Chains A and B, each alone.
Chain A
Amino acid sequence: MVNPIKRIPKEMFEPKRVDESLAEKIEKPSLSFWQDAWLRVKKNKAAIVSVVVLTLLIIMALIGPYLSGHTVQQNVEHANLPPRIAAVADVSWLPFDGTLKNRDGAILTPYEDRQITESYWFGTDSLGRDLFTRLWLGVRISLFIAFLATAIDMVIGVSYGAISGYFGGRVDNIMQRIIEILSGIPNLVIVILLILILEPGILAITLALALTGWVTMARVVRGQVLKLKNQEFALASKTLGATDYRIIFKHLMPNMVGVIIVNMMFTIPSAIFFEAFLSFIGLGLKPPNASLGTLIEDGFRVMLLYPYMLIIPSIVISLLMVTFNLLGDGLRDALDPKMRD
């Protein structure tokens, strides 16, 4: 247990003090909440890939409709053309060679048969409209509806939750009963009834989604407010005479931004889903407007003959859903204060 005593030069036993401030030195650079969250998101590869894919999809939703050189003009002579991209037409495993297999396995070549020289990248629909252009217009509308519904959702949900949680007592009691009853009614029912009244359209769908979606947000925000408002910093501010408005917006809100954002990140895909769902059961946009849902619905009708009409928008909506969900997961992990060390 004991080592034999070693000879050590005398000067080594001179007292030596380290600067006391060094002992208290903070080893890690101090990071703001957002810097810290960003560092965490960066570590999450799935979230980063999602951000990239999402950015591309959003850019395409903005510029995609102008890229193919075709408009969504009807052109019956060019109806039901399969996808053809000249540059990759020879790559055998890619389905962009402009041919189509019918149910008996025979290969159809509609471009050659009809002597069409132009290429439609994602093919055309039964009215000869360019599906590439229509697809990105559809993505644009789907995203627009989802973002708008989410924004309305957030405004209603945050205000409702904050008021209910902050004022507590009887106000809270009544507001919670209302929420309880509302959440007792299936969203599906409300959405369908609302759309039947309002006539299907962008506005009706957005409104229906927003009116059913805010309850979750209100619950989350109320829970946070209840937790935060009794913490010392909020009480301190109250004893110093801050107004309710100031406490809510200056002290509580900044602490809730994380949860609110995470919640929004999950509301967006659910709005995208519901819009497509409504279109699929016949409550979607009316032609000639297209959304991802109506494109899938159109494609589904002719799935056996022209599978590309179903498969391409299906892939795009799945990509949108997966990336939003992965990004939401990543943000949730990054913004969850429990995970900070």
Chain B
Amino acid sequence: MVGYLLKRIGLMLLTLFIVISLTFFLMKLIPGSPFSAAAKLNETQRAIMAAKYGLDQPVPVQYLKYMTNVLQGDLGVSFQFSNTPVTELIAKRIGPSATLGLQAMIFGTIFGIILGVIAALRQNTWMDYGSTLVAVLGKSIPSFVFAAMLQYFIAVRLGWFPVAFWRGYEYSILPTIALAIFPISIAARFMRTEMIEVLSSDYIVLARAKGASSFEVAFKHALRNALIPVVTVLGPLAVSLITGSLVVERVFAIPGLGEQFVTSINVLDYPVIMGTTILFAALFIFVVLIVDILYSIIDPRIRLSGGEN
């Protein structure tokens, strides 16, 4: 287990290193990048950049300098927000994004799992079809289309929720739903398939043969076994929330990381793009690792075989 963990963390650091390097070199290739002479920088910025990255020095030296800065938590300064350090910008913006992401993740997976279990237990009834419909639509309709539709019909037309901005709890409800629809649909489908498969397995028949009631069979025997594989989709789901946050925050004008990232892309604020990219990549890699560890904790087969051998 410890060996496995070390190996995973090693791989994780390697990947992160590659991402940062890749970002650096790609940025060097971009016409008008902060490191090229054509960058639209003012004199002060150019001076700061030159001092910080040693722009007059050869590329390998610049690279080393950049890596050292990143390791020290220095991601450069933003163009659009008059030289504010990128880390400061990120720190300011991460709150709403984290709130939305967590809410959507928790609400989405729990609701999705419930939908999936209901569909599996009431196979081929209207409940099953309803849950399948939600799942297909949620998986298919792009998050920004769904967000825009929610905003137009529920906020603008019906006026049930605020249309946009971030000024209190009620402002987070529509964006959370817009973000959660994908986790809901994925969790629901996955859970339904798993649950149906588990319910038809031999040990479920044996549990029934022992005299367990259908409630006990579903919740004591089947649910846990069906839930274990669902953990594997949590990683991809968390990642999809990052993608989703870019557009959903834009639709609802939420001052989060995603919205800032999109603005930065549009005004070519490279330090912010790079900093956010590195953050997203780190988050992604970390989530995948956490999910793997979680999986090995929940499934006794993996835990114990890893522990003994």
Contacts and interface: CB of A to CB of B under 8 A. Distances in A.
Instruction: Indicate yes or no for A touching B, C-beta below 8 A.
Output: yes
Given A277-B243, A318-B141, A322-B140, A189 B262 contact: no
B22 A193 contact: yes
B265 A196 contact: yes
A324 B250 CA distance: 27
A147 interface: no
A321 B148 contact: no
Interface stretch (A29-37, A253-261, A280-288): A280-288
A300 B139 CA distance: 21
A181 to B, nearest CB: 5
Contact of B277 (A189, A300, A321, A322): A189
Interface residues of A, number: 37
A184 B265 contact: no
Given A184-B284, A277-B243, A322 B136 contact: yes
Nearest to A322: B140
A193 B144 contact: no
Contacts of B137: 318, 322
Contacts of B148: 296, 300, 303, 310, 314
A275 B5 CA distance: 37
A185 B281 contact: yes
Interface string B217-257: 00000000000000000000001001100110011000000
A321 B140 contact: yes
Contacts of B18: 181, 184-185
A281 B277 contact: no
B69 to A, nearest CB: 19
Interface of B: 11-12, 14-15, 18-19, 22-23, 26-27, 29-31, 136-137, 139-142, 144-145, 148-149, 151-152, 156, 239, 242-243, 246-247, 250-251, 262, 265-266, 268, 273, 277, 280-281, 284-285, 288
Interface of A: 180-181, 184-186, 188-189, 192-194, 196-197, 199, 269, 273, 276-277, 280-283, 296, 300, 303-304, 307, 310-311, 314, 317-318, 321-322, 324-326, 329
Given A185-B15, A282-B265, A318-B140, 7 more contacts: A184-B19, A186-B239, A188-B246, A189-B280, A277-B243, A311-B149, A318-B142
27 contacts: A184-B18, A184-B285, A185-B284, A186-B239, A186-B280, A186-B284, A188-B243, A188-B246, A188-B280, A189-B23, A193-B22, A193-B23, A273-B142, A277-B243, A281-B250, A282-B262, A296-B144, A300-B251, A303-B151, A303-B156, A307-B152, A314-B145, A317-B145, A321-B141, A322-B137, A322-B141, A325-B136
